[in-house]
Amino acid sequence: MSDTRINPIGRRDFLGGLGMISLGAAVARGLSASPVEAGQRRKKWAPVSGRKVRMGIVGYGVCRFGAAFGFQDHPNVEVVAVSDLFRDRREGLMKACRCDKSYESLEVLVKDKNIDAVFVATDAPSHARHCIEVLKHGKHVMTAVPATLGSLEDAEKLVEAVQKTGLKYQMAETSCLRDNCYAMRRIYHAGGFGRVIYSEGEYFHYGTTPIASFKGWRVGLPPLWYPTHSTAYYIGVTGKRYTSVSCRGFNAGFDAYKPGGNKYDNPFSDEVALFKTSEGGSSRMLMCKGIHGVVIETGRVYGEKGWMEGTKYNGTMKQLPDISRPPLPPGMPAGGHGGSHGPLANEFITAILEDREPMVNAYEALAMTVPGIIAHKSALKDGETLKIPQYDPPKT
């Protein structure tokens, strides 16, 4: 679904003094900007190494995420073993990943000394614990979102494990590698927005009944405990931080949010948060399940020198940087969530091969995740403004 929101600003007056550059039009005009598919056709993938990263993949539940990111199709990857707690799912994951070895749990798989890295696609409440277990066994790790589910203690433990081991950690936040968010990131770092005065991130996922989940973890989940599809539209663009938040909750009346309807004692199906940023700006981020029929993940950025909605940049920058996503290896699909799955897997593998930090490392992951935990606390306090803990890499 595309973003059809209409900008309330008087567009004709505003655009009179600014240049509007559509990413598609930029290609026709010869600018180094393009939609993702055109960009991937123009760019040719080149391997950075001949080495193969030996992967373990864990989790093949309702969303089938274990195989959805395409590790099995990457020329620099060998899927050594897979795991799921359920035998039929293990067998399905083995088939999908073209792998002939499986283990009955992550805790057993991580003991395999032939594995270099693990993709954790397990239940969200276990993400932090599972990633810490992987790191403790000397393996790099990529995890599905969020980095931690409602637990600041787990956030602290995760940072400690990353710092202690020095291994690669990446959270697979899909918004970061959607074409519009990635383009915003490139333009921001090239100076095309200046300081961001205001930004918006929206994750609408209408549903009167929860998606099936292991031990029912999705039933009545506080909306902004799952914030990263939205918060990526500021943190993933700028690399800056949220410092405080005021949040409001809403109850759409679904059974999962009635008194006693969930194990979180959460009354809210929808949460809308207003954050203060470290740049001095404001950021409105939401996760809503109660708005009828709407399922979309999108965002917008408004800065001193320009702004961007959807695929149009409006601002003072006349020549855009290259905003097309990195190309994928031949035969590796871009995948779901706006074609972000393949690029996320490729980013993780490339970071290992190049011995550098992945785009969404532990610090960026927690900067996208923890503000949502604090926002939910604010909503329970009727919008009280609360400070947000900061997770930054050690200064070198």
With tokens 């740049």, the residue in question is: 279
Tokens describing residue 76: 């620099």
Instruction: For 346-384, write each residue's pLDDT tens digit.
Output: 999 999 999 999 999 999 999 999 999 999 999 999 999
Element (H, E) at 121: none
What pLDDT, on the 0 to 100 scale, is given for residue 29? 34
- The Cα 245–Cα 370 span in angstroms is 11
Nearest CA-CA partner of 277 in 306, 303, 254, 251? 303
Domain borders along the chain are 11-33+175-321+362-387
Q: What is the chain's Cα-based Rg?
A: 21
The residue ranges of the chain whose pLDDT is under 50 are: 1-19, 24-41
Instruction: For 193-249, write each residue's pLDDT tens digit.
Output: 999 999 999 999 999 999 999 999 999 999 999 999 999 999 999 999 999 999 999
Left, alpha or beta for 43 (phi > 0: left; psi -120 to 50: alpha)? beta
Type of residue numbered 213: S
Q: Does domain 11-33+175-321+362-387 have CATH number 3.40.630.10?
A: no
Element (H, E) at 165: helix 152-165
Omega before 223 within 30 of 0, i.e. cis: no
Question: Residue 347: which residues within 8 A CB-CB, separation 6 or more?
Answer: 170, 177, 326, 358, 359
- The Cα 78–Cα 59 span in angstroms is 17
